[in-house]
Amino acid sequence: MANPQKNKGSLWERTVAGYFNLRGYPQVERRYGAGNTKDKGDLNGFAGAIVIECKDHKSITLSTFMDETAVEKENARAEIGLCIVKRARKPVEQAYCVLTLEDAITLLKEAGY
């Protein structure tokens, strides 16, 4: 029998990737092999610069989510770790995007601010 939690997470990953595609990032896709010991995030498509972790949980535990994102960022040797957290009963475009202040400042500097 399939694992319903894993299926829920996989569906969220595909939904987030699809939203990136619709918004002009056709290269973004779900990364296969997530969950292995050298996990590098849930989505591919930003040339290793950004690790994206997707979370669809009933309870939002940012510290746990961000600890996992940090490990995946290190595994991928990426500059930015981004965690996209599903909001209950909200569409994908209203998901939370969580990153550390350090990564936010890196993004702002790279954007020219």
At residue 38 the predicted structure's pLDDT band, cuts being 50, 70 and 90, is: confident
CATH number of 63's domain? 3.40.1350
Q: List the Cα angle 72/15/95 in 5-degree steps.
A: 75
Tell me what pLDDT residue 33 has.
Answer: 64
pTM for the whole structure: 0.91
Please state the domain count of the chain: 1
Q: What is the domain extent for residue 75?
A: 4-110
Tell me what pLDDT residue 96 has.
Answer: 98
Averaged over 46-50, what is the pLDDT? 88
Helix (H) or strand (E) segment spanning residue 108: helix 101-110
Q: Is the pLDDT of residue 108 over 70?
A: yes
Averaged over 11-26, what is the pLDDT? 97
